[in-house]
């Protein structure tokens, strides 16, 4: 609501598409990032708790409750449920890439029990709302990260045939996102340089922070150094 009121005011003042409008967009991006951070922390906590209690079962003692021991199939089903709910959290990423023996054990377990119901179509449709939302709000970097997270999960969870189908889809999807980002990155970088040249230090810092949140690093290789210098 605050953003919409400010946007209408900018239009009334005759600056609907100029600097004022651009800075409002940057402020909105900052708010979105803040809200996303709060949500991310909540999901991280829930994900870790699920892993500890539902999969590692730290709250149970095998010697006191032998009946509660899970079969491999039950464990895999529980991990699938966890990955569906908390994809993108650090705990899931640790399962995908962690080097410790526990993670290696569970990865091997997943590979031995591929999920025939987890098709390329299902995986794509489950992640589509999140990716399209991130692209729609111009968080291209996060959208590509989300697809990379899906790749890691799918390799562990899918049959070989399903993964082959999904791999080409993700490659195309990432390419489309990068192409869209490329059409906008030059304008944003030019705006940041104009703010620096005109001595508007704080606005330039905010702009560069937005750029680094918005674009994959490969598209803005100069932005980190520019931000460091004006800070």
Residue 229 lies in a domain: yes
Q: How many domains does the chain have?
A: 1
Q: Are 77 and 116 a contacting pair, CB within 8 Å? A: no
User: Tens-digit pLDDT profile for the chain (231 aa)?
Assistant: 766 776 677 777 766 555 666 666 677 777 777 887 888 899 999 999 999 988 887 655 555 454 456 888 989 999 999 999 998 899 999 999 999 898 999 999 999 999 999 999 999 999 999 999 999 888 999 999 999 999 999 999 999 999 999 999 999 999 999 999 999 999 999 999 999 999 999 889 989 998 998 999 999 999 999 999 998
For residue 205, tell me if it sits in a domain.
yes
Closest CA to 155 of 96, 73, 228: 96
Does any domain span residue 31?
no
Query: Residue 168 is inside which H or E element, if any?
Result: helix 160-197
- pTM for the whole structure: 0.76
Rg for the chain (alpha carbons), in Å? 22
| Domain contains 174 | yes
* 159 within some domain: yes
Cα–Cα distances in angstroms (integers) from residue 96 to residues 16, 107, 127, 165, 186, in the given order: 46, 7, 17, 20, 35
113 three-class SS: coil
Spell out the residues 6+ positions from residue 123 whose beta carbon is closer than 8 angstroms to its own: 150, 154, 158, 162, 166
**What tokens were used for 161?**
């045939």
Q: Is residue 15 part of a domain?
A: no
Residue 70, pLDDT score = 80
pLDDT (0 to 100) of residue 39: 85
Range of the domain at 136: 118-231
Residue 64 is predicted with a pLDDT of 46
- Domain assignment of residue 227, yes or no: yes
Handedness of CA 210, 215, 217, 218 (dihedral sign): negative
DSSP state, residue 201: H
Question: Considering the domain boundaries, does residue 132 fall inside one?
Answer: yes
The pLDDT, as a whole number, for residue 61 is 54
């Amino acid at each position: 609501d605050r953003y919409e009121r400010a946007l209408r005011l900018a239009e009334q003042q005759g600056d609907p598409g100029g600097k004022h409008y651009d800075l409002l967009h940057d402020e909105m991006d900052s708010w979105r990032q803040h809200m996303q951070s709060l949500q991310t922390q909540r999901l991280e906590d829930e994900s870790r708790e699920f892993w500890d209690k539902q999969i590692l079962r730290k709250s149970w003692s095998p010697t006191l409750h032998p009946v509660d021991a899970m079969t491999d199939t039950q464990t895999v089903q529980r991990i699938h449920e966890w990955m569906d709910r908390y994809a993108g959290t650090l705990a899931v990423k640790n399962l995908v890439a962690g080097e410790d023996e526990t993670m290696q054990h569970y990865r091997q377990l997943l590979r031995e029990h591929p999920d025939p119901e987890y098709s390329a179509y299902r995986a794509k449709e489950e992640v589509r709302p999140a990716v399209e939302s991130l692209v729609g709000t111009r968080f291209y970097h996060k959208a590509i990260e989300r697809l990379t997270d899906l790749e890691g999960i799918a390799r562990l969870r899918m049959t070989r045939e399903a993964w082959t189908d999904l791999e080409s889809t993700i490659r195309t999807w990432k390419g489309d996102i990068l192409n869209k980002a490329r059409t906008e990155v030059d304008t944003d970088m030019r705006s940041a340089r104009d703010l620096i040249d005109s001595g508007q230090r704080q606005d330039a810092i905010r702009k560069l922070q937005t750029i680094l949140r918005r674009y994959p690093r490969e598209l803005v290789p100069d932005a980190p150094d520019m931000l460091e210098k004006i800070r």
